[in-house]
Structure 1
Amino acid sequence: MRLLIVDGYPEDARERHRAGFGLTPGEAYAAVVKRIVPAAACDIALPADADAQLPSGAGLSSYDAVILTGSPLHVYHDEAPVRRQIELMRAVYDSGVPSFGSCWGLQVAAVAAGGTVTPNPLGREVGFARRITPSEAGRGHALLAGRPGAFDAPCVHLDVVASLPANAIVLASNGMAGVQAAEIRHGRGVFWGVQYHPEFSLTELAAIMARMAEPLADEGFFRDPAEVAGYVEDLRTLDADRSRRDLAWRHGLDEQVLEEALRTLEIRNFVARCLGGDTMRH
């Protein structure tokens, strides 16, 4: 299986992620995919970079699937790093190659097909998206196969999909976002995406929250940056030692977040559908 991982981060943000976690977002996503399919070959594209060598339509067609990461960018900002990613996503749709995306990935896929993204009027959703609930369509959809009637997932985002394009369906939502999961059919392509981050381990989430300590305190999630540090340390400790039931209880985390096979379920379902070669292609 050959996949293209589209890392949506600009170079400076990628390097900050590497400094805090040890891998860039694209490398981290590729590592998750490799744990699911050890034989998978993953190439990484960097469309936020001005000198990025982006694949042509023929190049995209050589892949079995495309996966889009998150990003600190905002898709409604009219700037070159954003425009390149929207155009690349349109090329992915045109290629007919199945695609999947987390957070920014869902937002880019929605806008590339004619939807809209705005700042969330409810503010930032960070740490964990709580009580994500599949819609009636989502309960029977292969993307969410194996998920319970409500579940939590790692997340961090300020923006949300405000309106989906034509030929799209909402698969899940919660109190913070009306679109937590969706399928979008556009051109020759089918995209499955989520607003949360099934690829994030607790350690990767901790690294992101550590570098956001000041804004998280300013926005009232914590009393001060030192309190963020304590939360971050709890996440890292729990990731290293799943027997710490005290920490799991304190933060309200269950197996849907703590067990990698369950946390990454949407990625696993997407990869399985691509390997099966059925309805992911028109």
Structure 2
Amino acid sequence: MKNVLLLKAGEAAASVRLSVGDYDRWFLQTVGLSGYRFEVLPTHQDAKLPEDVARYDAVMMTGSPLSVTQLEPWMERAAQFMVDAAERGVPVLGVCFGHQLLAHAYGGRVVRNPLGREIGTVEVELTAVGRMDPLFRGLPQRLAVQATHEDIVPEPPEGTVVLAGNANTAVQALAFRPCARGVQFHPEVQPDAMRALIQARAERLEAEATARGQPPGERVPKLLAGIAPTPYGRQILVNFLESFL
């Protein structure tokens, strides 16, 4: 049985939690519990971080409605914890907010994406290095994933390597250290969760679209119609848990 520490970095909107559960549940459901024991730690609620990371086989961090551009003390502590774990050889995976927090911890920048929010089922392309990386073992060069974010890592921090990107976000995945990875997209999110996320943000999404000159009332139906299965998401998480331990 492998012990995985899941650092929870925030909560989904109430309507989302009621219909499809919260961030931690998505990870557990997508990965499955066979062979893994997950300990969920609500770092966003200032939960005390473990003193001995060596008792975990891996560390993962969820997404968050909060932003690394507005750092809080708990974020700095969690960032240092993940860096310490990675430098000790404990596998670390940051997802969305977790990816951005790792980038910050390793000296990178996090900014609001000038191209606007990326949300829905999108396509990312693996780089030449990404195609060889264990995180994406067995996956095609282009793959569909679920995404929802406004912030991005605009360029890779020094000493890191870009593993995937797309037209909206050039840095969709990073290798920080031999056993530390970050992905901007959400491998844990299933279509029902993405649908709930879009519906919960419908008013804001339409306002963003009209502000950018798009016809009113079109963006949300288009996003909902574009939601598709993303079976490679689970494979990415399993690859991390199986290939980096």
Superposition TM-score, scaled by structure 2 size: 0.88
Kindly indicate whether the alpha-carbon contact (under 8 Å) linking 2:129 and 2:163 is maintained by their aligned counterparts in 1.
Answer: yes
CA distance 1:222–1:272, shift in 2 (3 Å): farther
Matched residue, 2:71: 78
Q: Specify the alignment match of 2:229 in structure 1.
A: 258
The CA deviation string for residues 4-31 of structure 1, in whole angstroms up to 9 with x for no partner, is 1111105xx465542232x220122122
* Residue 25 (structure 1) aligns with: 23
Where structure 1 has 5 or more consecutive residues not aligned to the other structure, the ranges are 235-250, 278-282
Where does residue 133 of structure 2 map in the other structure? 141
Q: Which residue of 1 aligns with 2:112?
A: 119
Say which structure, 1 or 2, has more relative contact order (CA 8 Å, 6+ apart): 2
Per the TM alignment, residue 263 of structure 1 is displaced from its structure 2 partner at its CA by 3.2
Q: Which residue in 2 is equivalent to 1:40? A: 36
1:209 aligns with 2:198: yes
Contact 1:138-1:170 within 8 A present in 2 as well? yes
Kept in 2, the 8 Å contact 1:89–1:108? The answer is: no
Let me know the Cα RMSD of the aligned residues: 2.3
Aligned residue in 2 for 1:2:
3
Structure 1 residue 87: deviation in Å? 3.0
1:81, distance to aligned residue in structure 2 (A) = 4.0
AA matched with 2:5: L
Of residues 190-199 and 81-90 in structure 1, the stretch that sits farther from structure 2 once superposed is: 81-90
For the Cα contact (< 8 Å) 1:216–1:222, is it kept in 2?
no
Give 1:197's match in structure 2, choosing from 173, 186, 203.
186
Higher Cα Rg: structure 1 or 2?
Answer: 1
Structure 1 residues 134 and 66, CA gap change in structure 2 (3 angstroms):
same
Separation (CA, whole Å) in 2 of partners of 1:54 and 1:43: 12
Residues 162 and 5 (structure 1 numbering): CA distance in 2 closer, same or farther, change over 3 Å? same
Aligned amino acid, residue 205 of structure 1: M
Letter in 2 for 1:53: K
SS of the residue 1:5 aligns to: strand
Shift of 1:79: 2.3
Preserved CA contact (<8 Å) 1:2 1:63:
yes
Say yes or no: does 1:181 pair with 2:181: no
> Match of 1:271?
241
Indicate the residue corresponding to 1:129 in structure 2. 122
Distance of 1:88 and 1:79 partners within structure 2: 15
Aligned-partner residue type, residue 24 of structure 2: G
Mark the runs of 5 or more structure 2 residues left unpaired by the alignment.
none
CA offsets, 1:60-112, max 9 Å, x none? 11011111111111112132343333233233334431011221111111111
Conserved in 2, the CA contact under 8 Å of 1:222 and 1:228? no
Aligned residues: 240
Conserved in 1, the CA contact under 8 Å of 2:145 and 2:230?
Answer: no
Tell whether the 8 Å contact from 2:6 to 2:61 is kept in structure 1 after alignment.
yes
- TM alignment of 1:47-66, pairs within 5 A: 47-50=43-46, 52-56=47-51, 58=52, 60-66=53-59
Taking the aligned partners of 1:149 and 1:78, their CA distance within structure 2 comes to 34
- Counterpart CA distance in 1 for 2:222 and 2:99 is 31
Secondary structure at the aligned position of 1:154 is classed as strand
Q: Taking structure 1 as reference, are residues 41 and 123 closer, same or farther at Cα in structure 2, changes over 3 Å only? A: same
Q: Is this contact kept in 1: 2:126–2:163, CA < 8 A?
A: yes
Residue pair 1:107, 1:117 contacting (<8 A) in 2 also: yes
- 2:144/2:230 contact within 8 Å kept: no
SS state at 2:30 partner: helix
Q: For the Cα contact (< 8 Å) 1:103–1:194, is it kept in 2?
A: yes
1:107 matched residue in structure 2: 100
In 1, are the aligned partners of 2:146 and 2:230 still within 8 Å (CA)? no
Within-5 A mapping of 1:218-229: 218-220=207-209, 223-224=216-217, 228=220
Instruction: Give the counterpart of 1:169 among 161, 164, 167.
Output: 161
1:194 positional shift: 1.2
Q: Is the 8 A contact 1:8 1:85 kept in 2?
A: no
With over 3 angstroms needed to count, the CA separation of the structure-2 counterparts of 1:164 and 1:116, relative to structure 1, is: same
CA-CA distance at 1:32 after TM superposition: 1.9
